Structure 1
Amino acid sequence: MLKTINLRTKSHTDFIDITGLINQAISESKVDSGICIVYVPHTTAGVFINENADPDVVYDVKNHLEKLVPWMNNYKHMEGNAAAHIKSILTGNSINIIIENGRLLLGTWQGVFFAEFDGPRNRKVYIKILRG
Protein backbone atom coordinates (compact mmCIF):
# COMPACT_ATOMS: atom_id res chain seq x y z
CA MET A 1 0.00 0.00 0.00
CA LEU A 2 1.22 3.49 -0.87
CA LYS A 3 -0.10 6.55 0.95
CA THR A 4 0.73 10.19 0.33
CA ILE A 5 0.73 12.72 3.16
CA ASN A 6 0.43 16.35 2.09
CA LEU A 7 1.95 18.90 4.45
CA ARG A 8 2.08 22.69 4.52
CA THR A 9 5.13 23.85 6.43
CA LYS A 10 4.84 27.09 8.37
CA SER A 11 8.37 28.46 8.49
CA HIS A 12 11.75 28.39 6.81
CA THR A 13 12.91 25.57 9.06
CA ASP A 14 10.08 23.47 10.40
CA PHE A 15 9.97 20.03 12.01
CA ILE A 16 6.60 18.28 11.97
CA ASP A 17 5.92 15.13 14.02
CA ILE A 18 4.25 12.76 11.52
CA THR A 19 4.25 9.65 13.74
CA GLY A 20 0.46 9.71 14.20
CA LEU A 21 -0.16 10.12 10.47
CA ILE A 22 2.07 7.13 9.73
CA ASN A 23 0.38 4.97 12.37
CA GLN A 24 -2.98 5.97 10.88
CA ALA A 25 -1.81 4.79 7.44
CA ILE A 26 -0.66 1.51 8.97
CA SER A 27 -4.03 1.06 10.67
CA GLU A 28 -5.85 1.70 7.37
CA SER A 29 -3.61 -0.85 5.62
CA LYS A 30 -4.53 -3.54 8.17
CA VAL A 31 -0.90 -4.74 8.11
CA ASP A 32 -0.04 -6.28 11.47
CA SER A 33 3.61 -7.07 10.81
CA GLY A 34 5.94 -5.69 8.15
CA ILE A 35 8.03 -2.72 7.12
CA CYS A 36 7.08 0.92 6.70
CA ILE A 37 9.15 2.99 4.30
CA VAL A 38 8.86 6.76 4.74
CA TYR A 39 10.22 8.76 1.80
CA VAL A 40 10.43 12.51 1.19
CA PRO A 41 10.73 13.40 -2.54
CA HIS A 42 12.31 16.82 -1.99
CA THR A 43 15.95 17.94 -2.13
CA THR A 44 15.51 20.61 0.57
CA ALA A 45 13.59 18.53 3.10
CA GLY A 46 14.17 15.32 5.02
CA VAL A 47 12.83 12.79 7.50
CA PHE A 48 14.33 11.48 10.72
CA ILE A 49 13.58 9.62 13.95
CA ASN A 50 14.29 11.29 17.28
CA GLU A 51 12.74 12.16 20.63
CA ASN A 52 9.23 13.57 20.41
CA ALA A 53 8.46 13.88 24.12
CA ASP A 54 10.42 17.06 24.88
CA PRO A 55 10.07 19.92 22.36
CA ASP A 56 13.45 21.27 23.50
CA VAL A 57 15.11 18.43 21.55
CA VAL A 58 13.66 19.71 18.25
CA TYR A 59 14.65 23.26 19.22
CA ASP A 60 18.22 22.12 19.90
CA VAL A 61 18.43 20.15 16.63
CA LYS A 62 17.21 23.17 14.62
CA ASN A 63 19.69 25.51 16.31
CA HIS A 64 22.64 23.16 15.95
CA LEU A 65 21.93 22.47 12.27
CA GLU A 66 21.79 26.24 11.68
CA LYS A 67 25.19 26.67 13.35
CA LEU A 68 26.62 23.70 11.47
CA VAL A 69 25.22 24.81 8.09
CA PRO A 70 24.41 28.54 8.20
CA TRP A 71 21.87 29.86 5.71
CA MET A 72 24.16 32.51 4.25
CA ASN A 73 27.66 31.41 3.47
CA ASN A 74 29.89 31.50 0.41
CA TYR A 75 27.82 28.88 -1.47
CA LYS A 76 27.93 28.68 -5.27
CA HIS A 77 24.38 27.37 -5.78
CA MET A 78 22.51 30.24 -7.47
CA GLU A 79 19.06 29.67 -5.97
CA GLY A 80 20.23 30.75 -2.54
CA ASN A 81 19.13 27.59 -0.75
CA ALA A 82 22.37 25.58 -0.72
CA ALA A 83 22.17 25.27 3.08
CA ALA A 84 18.77 23.57 2.74
CA HIS A 85 20.24 21.01 0.33
CA ILE A 86 23.11 20.27 2.70
CA LYS A 87 20.78 19.87 5.71
CA SER A 88 18.62 17.49 3.66
CA ILE A 89 21.68 15.35 3.00
CA LEU A 90 22.47 15.31 6.73
CA THR A 91 18.98 14.20 7.79
CA GLY A 92 18.37 11.92 4.82
CA ASN A 93 15.19 11.56 2.80
CA SER A 94 14.00 8.08 3.77
CA ILE A 95 13.74 5.74 6.72
CA ASN A 96 12.58 2.15 7.21
CA ILE A 97 10.70 1.21 10.36
CA ILE A 98 9.49 -2.19 11.53
CA ILE A 99 5.73 -2.61 11.95
CA GLU A 100 4.65 -4.92 14.77
CA ASN A 101 1.14 -5.38 16.18
CA GLY A 102 -0.15 -2.85 13.65
CA ARG A 103 2.09 0.01 14.85
CA LEU A 104 5.54 1.42 14.28
CA LEU A 105 8.11 -0.32 16.43
CA LEU A 106 9.67 2.80 17.95
CA GLY A 107 11.36 3.39 21.28
CA THR A 108 9.43 4.91 24.17
CA TRP A 109 10.45 8.49 23.39
CA GLN A 110 10.84 8.21 19.61
CA GLY A 111 8.81 9.86 16.87
CA VAL A 112 9.13 10.41 13.13
CA PHE A 113 9.70 13.98 11.97
CA PHE A 114 9.37 15.66 8.60
CA ALA A 115 12.14 18.28 8.31
CA GLU A 116 11.62 21.43 6.24
CA PHE A 117 14.72 23.45 5.38
CA ASP A 118 13.42 25.80 2.64
CA GLY A 119 9.89 26.74 3.60
CA PRO A 120 7.21 27.54 3.97
CA ARG A 121 6.08 25.17 1.22
CA ASN A 122 3.60 22.49 0.29
CA ARG A 123 5.33 19.14 0.71
CA LYS A 124 4.67 15.43 0.23
CA VAL A 125 5.67 12.40 2.25
CA TYR A 126 5.23 8.94 0.73
CA ILE A 127 4.53 5.98 2.98
CA LYS A 128 4.93 2.48 1.59
CA ILE A 129 3.71 -0.33 3.80
CA LEU A 130 4.96 -3.85 3.11
CA ARG A 131 3.39 -6.88 4.72
CA GLY A 132 5.99 -9.07 6.42
Structure 2
Amino acid sequence: MIPIPSKVESQIFSLYDLEQKLKPLGYVIGGNWDYDHGSFDYEIADDVGYQFLRVPFKAVNGQLDAPQVTVEMGEPFLLSHKYQRGLDDNVRESNFRASFDQFSEPVDPDAEFPEEYVEVGKELVQELERTLLS
Protein backbone atom coordinates (compact mmCIF):
# COMPACT_ATOMS: atom_id res chain seq x y z
CA MET A 1 0.00 0.00 0.00
CA ILE A 2 1.35 3.41 -1.03
CA PRO A 3 -0.44 6.45 0.44
CA ILE A 4 -0.78 9.53 -1.78
CA PRO A 5 -1.46 12.76 0.14
CA SER A 6 -4.35 14.69 -1.37
CA LYS A 7 -6.41 17.83 -0.89
CA VAL A 8 -9.58 15.70 -1.01
CA GLU A 9 -8.69 14.11 2.33
CA SER A 10 -11.09 15.25 5.10
CA GLN A 11 -13.39 16.94 2.55
CA ILE A 12 -17.11 16.18 2.88
CA PHE A 13 -19.31 15.38 -0.12
CA SER A 14 -22.68 13.93 -0.91
CA LEU A 15 -22.14 10.28 -1.83
CA TYR A 16 -24.60 10.71 -4.69
CA ASP A 17 -22.58 13.64 -6.09
CA LEU A 18 -19.35 11.65 -5.79
CA GLU A 19 -20.86 8.78 -7.74
CA GLN A 20 -22.10 11.16 -10.46
CA LYS A 21 -18.62 12.68 -10.85
CA LEU A 22 -16.36 9.65 -10.37
CA LYS A 23 -18.15 6.81 -12.18
CA PRO A 24 -17.76 8.48 -15.62
CA LEU A 25 -14.00 8.67 -14.91
CA GLY A 26 -13.84 4.90 -14.35
CA TYR A 27 -14.21 4.63 -10.57
CA VAL A 28 -16.41 1.99 -8.98
CA ILE A 29 -17.52 1.59 -5.40
CA GLY A 30 -15.27 -1.13 -4.01
CA GLY A 31 -16.80 -4.38 -2.84
CA ASN A 32 -15.41 -3.89 0.65
CA TRP A 33 -18.01 -1.28 1.69
CA ASP A 34 -20.05 -1.45 4.87
CA TYR A 35 -22.85 0.76 6.14
CA ASP A 36 -20.44 3.27 7.66
CA HIS A 37 -17.46 3.20 5.27
CA GLY A 38 -16.39 2.28 1.76
CA SER A 39 -14.10 3.30 -1.08
CA PHE A 40 -13.98 4.29 -4.70
CA ASP A 41 -11.59 2.10 -6.68
CA TYR A 42 -9.93 2.86 -10.00
CA GLU A 43 -8.28 -0.11 -11.72
CA ILE A 44 -4.92 1.01 -13.07
CA ALA A 45 -3.71 -2.33 -14.44
CA ASP A 46 -4.08 -6.09 -14.13
CA ASP A 47 -0.45 -7.27 -14.19
CA VAL A 48 -0.17 -10.51 -12.19
CA GLY A 49 -3.13 -9.34 -10.12
CA TYR A 50 -4.82 -5.97 -10.01
CA GLN A 51 -3.40 -2.53 -9.27
CA PHE A 52 -5.85 0.05 -7.92
CA LEU A 53 -6.08 3.59 -6.74
CA ARG A 54 -8.37 3.36 -3.70
CA VAL A 55 -10.07 6.44 -2.26
CA PRO A 56 -11.64 5.57 1.10
CA PHE A 57 -14.57 7.39 2.65
CA LYS A 58 -16.70 7.15 5.79
CA ALA A 59 -20.28 8.15 6.44
CA VAL A 60 -20.72 11.45 8.26
CA ASN A 61 -24.49 11.40 8.71
CA GLY A 62 -26.44 8.18 8.47
CA GLN A 63 -25.54 5.02 6.61
CA LEU A 64 -24.22 4.62 3.09
CA ASP A 65 -27.52 3.23 1.82
CA ALA A 66 -29.42 6.36 2.93
CA PRO A 67 -30.47 8.68 0.08
CA GLN A 68 -28.92 11.91 1.41
CA VAL A 69 -25.80 10.52 3.11
CA THR A 70 -22.65 12.63 3.15
CA VAL A 71 -19.18 11.15 3.44
CA GLU A 72 -15.74 12.29 4.54
CA MET A 73 -12.91 11.38 2.21
CA GLY A 74 -9.81 9.58 3.45
CA GLU A 75 -6.27 9.55 2.08
CA PRO A 76 -6.03 7.89 -1.36
CA PHE A 77 -3.60 5.01 -1.71
CA LEU A 78 -2.26 2.58 -4.27
CA LEU A 79 -3.04 -1.07 -3.70
CA SER A 80 -2.08 -4.27 -5.47
CA HIS A 81 -3.95 -7.57 -5.12
CA LYS A 82 -2.28 -10.71 -6.44
CA TYR A 83 -4.73 -13.50 -7.29
CA GLN A 84 -4.33 -17.21 -7.86
CA ARG A 85 -3.99 -18.13 -11.50
CA GLY A 86 -5.76 -21.03 -13.12
CA LEU A 87 -8.80 -21.24 -10.86
CA ASP A 88 -11.04 -21.61 -13.89
CA ASP A 89 -9.02 -24.56 -15.19
CA ASN A 90 -10.72 -27.95 -15.18
CA VAL A 91 -14.07 -26.64 -13.98
CA ARG A 92 -16.40 -29.52 -13.18
CA GLU A 93 -19.11 -27.65 -11.30
CA SER A 94 -22.39 -26.46 -12.69
CA ASN A 95 -22.86 -22.90 -13.93
CA PHE A 96 -25.21 -22.25 -11.02
CA ARG A 97 -22.55 -23.16 -8.45
CA ALA A 98 -19.85 -21.29 -10.41
CA SER A 99 -21.89 -18.08 -10.27
CA PHE A 100 -21.39 -18.06 -6.49
CA ASP A 101 -17.72 -19.13 -6.50
CA GLN A 102 -16.38 -17.05 -9.37
CA PHE A 103 -14.11 -14.79 -7.32
CA SER A 104 -10.99 -16.07 -5.61
CA GLU A 105 -9.44 -14.68 -2.48
CA PRO A 106 -6.20 -12.82 -3.16
CA VAL A 107 -2.99 -14.81 -2.66
CA ASP A 108 -1.50 -11.56 -1.40
CA PRO A 109 -4.04 -8.77 -0.74
CA ASP A 110 -1.23 -6.25 -0.15
CA ALA A 111 1.22 -7.29 -2.86
CA GLU A 112 4.11 -5.08 -3.91
CA PHE A 113 2.92 -2.26 -6.13
CA PRO A 114 4.72 -2.06 -9.51
CA GLU A 115 6.90 1.06 -9.62
CA GLU A 116 5.86 1.92 -13.19
CA TYR A 117 2.28 2.62 -12.01
CA VAL A 118 3.09 4.90 -9.06
CA GLU A 119 3.26 8.00 -11.28
CA VAL A 120 -0.04 6.98 -12.92
CA GLY A 121 -1.59 6.84 -9.44
CA LYS A 122 -0.31 10.32 -8.60
CA GLU A 123 -1.74 11.69 -11.86
CA LEU A 124 -5.09 10.06 -11.07
CA VAL A 125 -5.13 11.78 -7.67
CA GLN A 126 -4.48 15.13 -9.39
CA GLU A 127 -7.40 14.45 -11.73
CA LEU A 128 -9.52 13.50 -8.70
CA GLU A 129 -8.67 16.82 -7.04
CA ARG A 130 -9.51 18.80 -10.19
CA THR A 131 -12.82 16.95 -10.53
CA LEU A 132 -13.94 17.29 -6.92
CA LEU A 133 -12.44 20.59 -5.79
CA SER A 134 -12.99 22.92 -8.72
The TM tier, using the shorter chain, reads under 0.3
More strand by share: 1
- Name the structure, 1 or 2, with higher relative contact order (CA <8 Å, separation 6+): 1
TM-score w.r.t. structure 1 length?
Answer: 0.27
TM-score w.r.t. structure 2 length?
Answer: 0.27
